[in-house]
């Protein structure tokens, strides 16, 4: 008996559309027309037509019969079953769930008791030299490990989990309900076993069926050269063991660099300040300064000004995951004496006379004004 409905037109696909195109078209229409989403009574009949069209075109045998002009429901012994608003016997209910939850219902079957453990983070305080050159530390970690009594199984010695007699090991129970669109089957985790499919009758006395116990252990870790404040180091598999003896998570080390008495770190470079007398700044000198590698000589050139920076190349910290080192940048501060002995004062006056600086004129940089000039201009502009 020929079928009057144009199932391809109802779904909006070509007659040569493949199974994926038909499924995508159905999901799109189901999201728009399902009564739970759009309660408009006028659209309920449209949703029934879409459901019936998909039930036919998603089944290769029914689709072949439909393409030949025969009634696709005749062999099933339920003429017009789709038209009555119900799902046919072979209707894939999971496709309807895909339409609303994007990619399928929850994983079917029992779930494993073993789950991955959580990640953990611990703080590691380091001196500047340890950050710069790297170090090795023994860290004491409070964590969860596999229970030594049950080896992660969670059962008392000599026993094992038994199959759940509620779900017979499936981990879920099904329930059939009726609605205006026909019979619907829903599944939920088994209340008897929690979805595991097995039940622990005799829990392990040490871990109480968790499969793990807490303990304190010491691990040796290598801190690479060049780390700085805020650096995170990942140690894969050194975190907590998961429930049921599951795989461990990761351990993260958070580096905290202690302040240094002399140096301030900026990236891979170190900065410090040295104060020199004005005579040394004028005549030049060689000073001994501290570095992370020990004492080093610093050449002060004649005429060095206060605020000038002198770099000692390669005297900074190592570069993380790279070669080479940063620089040590020395900032010079020229100290002017606040009190002079009579003889010192006389010598400076003689020097000023030789340089013609007994009464040096004030100099302003181009574009700058004195305080009183700026004050006068402010009043004149009102």
- Ordered by where they begin, the domains of the chain are 7-101 (1.10.287.110), 120-161+200-257 (2.60.260.20), 260-382 (2.60.260.20)
pLDDT digits (tens, 9 = 90+) for 311-361: 999 999 999 988 999 999 999 999 988 888 999 888 888 888 888 877 766
> According to the model, what pLDDT value does residue 84 have?
37
| Residue 260 tokens, joined | 């240094």
Going by C-beta distance under 8 Å and a sequence separation of 6 or more, which residues neighbour residue 375? none
Grouped pLDDT means (10 residues each) for the chain, 382 residues: 69 86 84 69 78 86 79 52 43 48 53 89 95 95 92 92 90 74 74 90 93 92 95 92 91 95 95 94 92 94 94 95 94 91 88 79 57 52 52
Q: What is the pTM of this model?
A: 0.60
What pLDDT sits at residue 256? Answer: 96
Nearest to 279 by CA among 341, 336, 331, 359: 336
DSSP letter assigned to residue 262: S
Q: What is the pLDDT of residue 263?
A: 96
User: How high is the pLDDT of residue 24?
Assistant: 84
Contacts of 269 (CB under 8 A, 6+ apart): 316, 317, 326, 327, 328, 329
pLDDT of residue 9: 86
pLDDT score recorded for residue 178: 67
**In this predicted model, what pLDDT tens digit does every residue of 201-217 receive, in sequence order?**
999 999 999 999 999 99
CB atoms inside a 10 Å sphere around CB 178? 9
| Model pLDDT, residue 83 | 41
Quote the CA–CA distance of 155 and 116 in Å, as a whole number: 19
């Amino acid at each position: 008996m020929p079928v009057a409905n144009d199932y391809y037109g109802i779904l909006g696909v070509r007659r040569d559309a493949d199974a994926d195109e038909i499924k995508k078209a159905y999901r799109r229409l189901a999201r728009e027309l399902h009564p739970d989403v759009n309660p408009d009574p006028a659209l309920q009949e449209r949703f029934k037509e879409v459901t019936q069209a998909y039930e036919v075109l998603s089944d290769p045998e029914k689709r072949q019969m439909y393409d030949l002009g025969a009634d696709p429901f005749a062999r099933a012994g339920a003429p017009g079953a789709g038209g009555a608003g119900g799902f046919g016997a072979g209707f894939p209910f999971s496709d309807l769930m895909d339409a609303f939850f994007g990619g399928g219902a929850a994983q079917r079957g029992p779930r494993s008791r073993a789950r991955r453990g959580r990640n953990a983070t611990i703080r590691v305080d380091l001196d500047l030299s340890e950050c710069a050159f790297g170090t090795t530390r023994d860290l004491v970690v409070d964590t969860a490990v596999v229970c030594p009594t049950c080896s992660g199984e969670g059962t008392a010695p000599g026993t094992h989990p038994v199959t759940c007699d509620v779900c017979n090991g499936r981990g879920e129970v099904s329930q059939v309900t009726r609605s205006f669109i026909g019979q619907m089957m829903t599944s939920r985790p088994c209340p008897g076993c929690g979805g595991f499919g097995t039940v622990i009758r005799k829990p392990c006395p040490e871990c109480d069926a968790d499969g793990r116990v807490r303990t304190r252990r010491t691990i040796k870790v290598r801190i690479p050269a060049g780390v700085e404040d805020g650096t995170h180091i990942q140690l894969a598999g050194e975190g907590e063991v998961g429930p049921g003896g599951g795989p461990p998570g990761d351990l993260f080390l958070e580096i905290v660099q202690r302040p240094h008495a002399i140096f301030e770190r900026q990236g891979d470079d170190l900065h410090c300040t040295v104060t020199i007398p004005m005579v040394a700044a004028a005549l030049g000198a060689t000073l001994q300064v501290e570095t992370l590698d020990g004492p080093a000589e610093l050449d002060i050139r004649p005429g060095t000004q206060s605020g000038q920076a002198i770099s000692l190349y390669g005297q900074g910290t190592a570069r993380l995951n790279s070669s080479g080192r940063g620089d040590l940048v020395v900032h010079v501060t020229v100290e002017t004496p606040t009190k002079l002995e009579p003889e010192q004062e006389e010598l400076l006056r003689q020097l000023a006379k030789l340089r013609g600086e007994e009464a040096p004129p004030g100099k302003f940089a181009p574009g700058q004004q004195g305080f009183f000039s700026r004050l006068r201009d402010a009043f004149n502009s009102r």
